[in-house]
Structure 1
Amino acid sequence: METIKRRPTRQIKLGNVLIGGGAPISVQSMLSVPTSDISAALSQIHSLEKVGCEIIRFSVETIADIPSIYEFKKETHIPLVADIHFDYKLALAALQAGVDGLRINPGNIGSRDKVEAVAKSAKERGVPIRIGVNSGSLPKELLAKYGLSSEAMVEAALSHIRILEDIGFEAIKVSVKASQVPLMLASYRALSQKIDYPLHLGVTEAGTLLSGSVKSALALGILLEEGIGDTIRVSLTADPVKEVMVGKQILQNLGLRKGLQIISCPTCGRTHINLMRLAEEVESALQEYANLPLTIAVMGCAVNGPGEAREADFGIAGGVGEGLIFAKGKIIKKVPEDRLVAELIQLIKNWKESV
């Protein structure tokens, strides 16, 4: 696979994660439960940790959400980003509570002195700010001037950037998200020509698990292949864990991240095993091995499976009530169907212990 040449950007530090400047592209998600519900939020944070989420964002709507931040900081080392609109006092309180990043729009946080207060506090703590522009909330004057367009999106982002730059704050990352793929692509491409701040990629309101994953993979994949993007979020109407899993798959398939890849064949008349169930079982069982640089094949046909998937490190191929375990196209053993997944997991465990 050819190496993608990434766009040079400045580097910022978000907690223990570097963003931009050639750092690995990070995958993030956002809590879908109320921030004030500490138990539910921590449960979701721990689930995101298990699948390799590297940055977690959550909304801060009222002062009642602030105590949760202290608890989150005790329970996780993943960088935490507070998403705040309109009330600069909430941003100051979140900073005091120890958040690693802010997502705000300086234009809606209040007067210049309020923006300065937030920027000063963030700078003192080494906390970066993400400027998040969304197509659904553009200023009326820009819509009147440009209509819903990449020009309006970019000008909105640049105006927010200037506010922070004018007060000497430059630990910035930027997003220009839209729900329409062509608008999203045009906006990021245009913005990337005007600034060297790191870019957070995403399609806002992408949709459900299926449609949102397709839309996000298409849009993010195109930009990432062009070298644009330093951190990503796949926004789905689904469990945030799925967002992380899809995001990691996008990066892996572009060669931008090493990790476990599962390949499986479509079913056909030669398939005499419940391949869909088998593939899902393998995917679920291998979640804890997500960072291993392995390709695992789940094939439906015991005749062609090992040959078609000979590039896979390990794999299984179904038969009638039984199947084959193979490695690099070579058959290792034949086992009953109900033992296929367990035997595959054991093989991977043995490999992990040997390297």
Structure 2
Amino acid sequence: MELRKKTRIVKIGQVSIGGEHPIAIQSMTNADTRDAEATIAQINALEVAGCEIVRVAVPDQAAADAIATIKKRINIPLVADIHFDYQLALTAMQNGIDKLRINPGNIGSEKGIREIVAVATERRIPIRIGVNAGSLEKEILDRNQGRATPKGMVESAEKHIHLLEEAGFDNLVVSMKASDVRFTIDSYEQFSKKYDYPLHLGITEAGILRSSAVKSAMGIGYLLLSGLGDTLRVSITGDPLEEIDVARDILRGIGLYQGKRPRVEIISCPTCGRTEIDLIGIAQEINNQLRFIEKDIKVAVMGCIVNGPGEGKAADIGIAGGKNKAVLFKKGEIIRSLNENEIIAALIEEIEKM
């Protein structure tokens, strides 16, 4: 793994990113922000799952007004996603938002940018410049026959950064998202060679769960292993809670998870002709039951009595199947034998004792 690049430190509410701070997991609500109750419920559920920073869409004045109510009843930092209307940014900041996600080039006049900067500076509210391949400025696309390129992504970011820096503001976070993994990686790498602003990582429009998990693991995982990234969001078409699960698995898989909430890690074999128990069903049920248990342990669910305890030695506890039976083991040492219908309950019981 490459040495992590030290970026500027930015404080988002009570969460600091950049420098040597842990990589923060973010998500975004898909509830209507104007419905404060639904948004609050979703944010609190995301927090329980391990979300550390959450973003809400602010499409109009009613959504900006709702931020005041939402902010009072959540615990994690709140980010307002705003386009085109700088007045919405002003209202969001007045109502307690912890960070803005805007692109200064489309937020209004120079006067509007300066008003945003004045309030953000006074309240120490950072701004994320979010560059997306699907919405690059026309003049940048025109210089490359209408195509988006990583170089164009960096150019767009530079333009927005320049607008804010000219106004005396540099409390910034930057993202360079595309739906194409290689394109996204190239964009972040090119930007990182020129700037030390903290990076928010993500593959945008990555699709439903399986597609997004694969693309995000490849793209975000590669960048993290290259030493880049200070926050991340896994974008999934579906339940935002799934975004947190995948994000934690990515960080944990490469040894970078430092979240406040410990999580059980499950390792399981892919099954083969030697498997003589319903390993798939058992693994799925164990995963469901352990999803919100806060223990920093590794659990092995193995299908073969021949290799199971050996392959599971790295685990704290696990089972290995036989013919309608399984053995329960800890640190590779067999503790006892179980009938198939006893496996799940016995394993969960032992884990709860640990």
1:229-265: per-residue Cα shift (whole Å, max 9, x none)? 1100111112111111111111111111155321100
Q: Distance in 1 between matches of 2:282 and 2:40?
A: 31
Structure 2 residue matching 1:28: 3-state secondary structure: strand
- Which residue of 2 is the match for residue 182 of structure 1? 182
Which one of 303, 312, 315 corresponds to residue 318 of structure 2? 315
Which range moved further: 332-341 or 178-187?
332-341
Q: Distance in 2 between matches of 1:101 and 1:297?
A: 40
Q: Distance in 1 between matches of 2:44 and 2:341?
A: 31
- Which residue of 2 is the match for residue 248 of structure 1? 248
Which range moved further: 172-181 or 259-268?
259-268
Q: Distance in 2 between matches of 1:300 and 1:238?
A: 31
- Which residue of 2 is the match for residue 168 of structure 1? 168
Structure 1 residue matching 2:143: 3-state secondary structure: helix
- Which residue of 2 is the match for residue 129 of structure 1? 127
Normalized against structure 2, the TM-score is what?
0.95
Q: Distance in 2 between matches of 1:120 and 1:339?
A: 64
Q: Would you say 1:342 and 2:342 are equivalent positions?
A: no
Q: Distance in 2 between matches of 1:32 and 1:339?
A: 40
Considering only aligned residues, what root-mean-square deviation do their CA atoms show, in Å?
Answer: 1.4
Number of equivalences: 348
- Which residue of 1 is the match for residue 232 of structure 2? 232
Structure 2 residue matching 1:288: 3-state secondary structure: coil
Structure 2 residue matching 1:289: 3-state secondary structure: coil
- Which residue of 2 is the match for residue 332 of structure 1? 335
Structure 2 residue matching 1:349: 3-state secondary structure: helix
Q: Distance in 1 between matches of 2:336 and 2:350?
A: 11
- Deviation of residue 40 (structure 1)? 2.3
1:195-344 mapped onto 2 (5 Å cutoff): 195-257=195-257, 259-290=263-294, 292-344=295-347
Structure 1 residue matching 2:83: 3-state secondary structure: coil
- Deviation of residue 4 (structure 1)? 4.3
1:68-83 mapped onto 2 (5 Å cutoff): 68-83=66-81
Which one of 32, 35, 43 corresponds to residue 34 of structure 1? 32
- Which residue of 1 is the match for residue 16 of structure 2? 18
4+ runs of 1 displaced by more than 4 Å?
A: none
Q: Is the 8 A contact 2:65 2:92 kept in 1?
A: no
Name the amino acid aligned to 1:158.
E
Q: Is the 8 A contact 2:83 2:103 kept in 1?
A: yes
Name the amino acid aligned to 1:118.
I
- Deviation of residue 295 (structure 1)? 1.3
Name the amino acid aligned to 2:329.
F
Q: Distance in 1 between matches of 2:114 and 2:344?
A: 57
User: Gaps (5+ residues) in structure 2?
Assistant: none
Which range moved further: 319-328 or 153-162?
319-328
User: Gaps (5+ residues) in structure 1?
Assistant: none
1:11-44: per-residue Cα shift (whole Å, max 9, x none)? 0000111110111001111101211122322222
- Identical pairs, percent: 50
- Deviation of residue 276 (structure 1)? 1.8
Normalized against structure 1, the TM-score is what?
0.94
